Amino acid sequence: MSDIKIQVGDTIPQGTFKYIPYSPELEDHSACGIPITLNTDEWKGKKVVLVSVPGAFTPTCHANHLPPFLQKYDEFKAKGVDVIAVIAANDAFVLSGWARFLGLKDKIIALSDPNAKWSAQLGLSQDLSAVDFGTRTKRYALVIDDLKVTYVGVETERVVSVSGADAILAAL
């Protein structure tokens, strides 16, 4: 996968994401919340597990990829992880709806990477126009410690292995 630009030891590029922070008001499913911005500079001094999925509510992402991160949340925290975040090219409202459906609450932040712009800087975007999805993020995971990459797992098939919760826990 020679198009991957980010490697272990690299500093992540600066980026901003939109997301809707969890609040009890969002339990009322007619509430939408208001998107705010998260800047990657906020991860300075923190250990972050960043999981990327091609799309919210899509079969592999929804059933196999993200749920184990929530199920093993306490194991990640026990290994010193400060932030678990999922990114996708979906907008912040879709990601908030998905987060509410999965019950992420404030444990996992669902970040919007519109048009996979930030992921493209890493060489981790993909063109899914052939299936009418447009430009999306690839399925990958990064462990970032004080803005430095300590783990890169990029899937090459439609499976969850190197970007899954168990692989990340083993790498921590």
Active site residues: 61
CA 84-3-122 angle, to 5 degrees, is: 35
Comparing C-alpha atoms, which of 149, 141, 131, 135 is closest to residue 169? Answer: 141
CA distances, 106 to each of 3, 66, 90, 151 (Å)? 33, 14, 19, 24
Tokens of 143: 């462990």
DSSP character at residue 167? H
